[in-house]
Amino acid sequence: MIMVKKLETDNVFIDTEPFIAANFNYQSRPFQTLVLLTKYETVFIYLTPVTVKEIEANIKERVETASNAFRKFQATSDTRIIKNLEGPLKNALYVIFDIEEVKTKLLDQFSKFMKKLSARLIQVKNVSIDDVFDQYFSQKAPFGAGKKKSEFPDAFVLSALRQWCQKKNTKMYVVSADQDMINGCENDEYLISIPKLEEFVDLVYASQNEPHYSFVNELFDENEEEVKQRIADQFPSIGFYFDEEEGEVDSINVQTVRILSKYSVFVEEERATFELSVEIQFQAEVTWMWGVVPDYPTETEEATLNKKMEVPVEIEIDYRVGDPHRFYISSLSIQEHNVVLSNSDDDDGYPYK
């Protein structure tokens, strides 16, 4: 039996963190569902001018980082041979793009997406500076014991949201996985923390489309083994590389698949989309060469690496309410690609695993 939670308010604030987590991909299913929900005024989206500026600053910063990485790729001696190519592939790999133009286009995409969401701004100019400094010196969230000065923007944002809710006598969801934002909402009369955007969308469907939501979630749980098998079958094809001289990944063998979380991000009469977080334990058979020096013999090494990684998965289900046998996986996408495996026991640091 699925325990259905109820939506406490139709007001939701989206922090900077969910945009970063989605890599500013406004075509992702949770964002697209949010557009649909706002279109029919099922929910109302709020930001603050501080949040908008923070999002825009992150977009600019990431364009700079991407540009630097691109230039390093173009300059490395390992890629020089590609310069001998003729045609569009060489042009694509060695194009010199205008950073400011890229920033402008990405900022424009963000602005257009805000309009699609009919996002409303809650001003921070009326927030009491004295109240914020009281939070800082008394070490209240979002500052905490460290009294981090970097949390002043969050403090102003939370105070503005709280002030707005008090005036309207209502509550508001605060979507953010930022721990300081979560702490700032703890035991708050008006602000309700919810870490993930997909979790909020799941909650909306649970409240607004309960019969379909309950049925398709129970159906998913009954067919979980089939889902895990499909994930295990697809996992070796996402692309693996071995970080050693002349290294090769010969095979990937999945040991276990465990679904850590499941959120319904789109539910209609005969179709539903789920966002999953999945832990996969696997063995990688790898080989590499060492002693690769001219006029000297080389040696081949082999090893079996035991690895574990967490991957996001999007899965679309066709179903029919009342039919327990109608469960068809129409699409399944593991949203992780080109994983670099290391011979180290330290699995930290994307893309190294």
The fraction of the chain above a pLDDT of 70, given in percent, is: 81
DSSP count for the chain of H helices, then E strands: 11, 11
130-134, 289-293, 346-350, range with the lowest pLDDT: 346-350
Structural domain harbouring 25: 11-202
Q: Tell me how many domains the chain contains.
A: 2
61-65, 139-143, 196-200, range with the lowest pLDDT: 139-143
Highest mean pLDDT among 182-186, 211-215, 261-265: 261-265
Question: Is pLDDT above 50 for 349?
Answer: no
Cα(24)–Cα(65) distance, integer angstroms: 15
- Residue 325 forms part of a structural domain: yes
Q: What are the phi and psi torsion angles at 342 (to 5°)?
A: -115, 155
**What mean pLDDT is reported for the chain?**
86
* The pLDDT of residue 129: 63
**Are residues 184 and 44 part of one domain?**
yes
- Residue 280 forms part of a structural domain: yes
* The pLDDT of residue 144: 59
* The pLDDT of residue 104: 96
* The pLDDT of residue 106: 97
Q: Quick check: 313 and 332 in contact, CB under 8 A?
A: yes
pLDDT category of residue 228 using cuts at 50, 70 and 90: very high
Spatial neighbors of 52 by CB under 8 A, at least 6 apart, are: 114, 121
> What pLDDT, in 10s, does the model give residues 11-58?
999 999 999 999 999 999 999 999 999 999 999 999 999 999 999 999
Average pLDDT over residues 197-217: 93
Provide the whole-model pTM. 0.84
**Are residues 227 and 193 part of one domain?**
no
pLDDT category of residue 83 using cuts at 50, 70 and 90: low
Question: Is pLDDT above 70 for 212?
Answer: yes
Average pLDDT over residues 99-109: 95
Spatial neighbors of 331 by CB under 8 A, at least 6 apart, are: 314, 315, 316
> What pLDDT, in 10s, does the model give residues 174-205?
999 998 889 889 989 999 999 999 999 999 99
- Residue where one domain finishes, among candidates 202, 220, 236: 202
Instruction: Name which residue leads in pLDDT, 118 or 1.
Output: 118
Question: Is pLDDT above 90 for 346?
Answer: no
> What pLDDT, in 10s, does the model give residues 272-323?
999 999 999 999 999 987 655 555 556 788 899 999 999 999 999 999 998 9
- Residue 284 forms part of a structural domain: yes
**Are residues 180 and 134 part of one domain?**
yes
- Residue where one domain finishes, among candidates 181, 202, 223: 202
Report the CATH number at residue 162: 3.40.50.1010
- Residue 102 forms part of a structural domain: yes
Question: Is pLDDT above 70 for 266?
Answer: yes
Beta strands in the chain (DSSP E): 11-14, 44-47, 120-121, 172-175, 191-194, 240-242, 248-267, 271-290, 299-319, 327-334, 339-341
**Are residues 279 and 144 part of one domain?**
no
Structure-token pair, residue 335: 């949203």
Among 305, 337, 218, residue whose Cα is nearest residue 267: 218
Q: Quick check: 304 and 275 in contact, CB under 8 A?
A: no
- Residue 346 forms part of a structural domain: no
**Are residues 110 and 190 part of one domain?**
yes
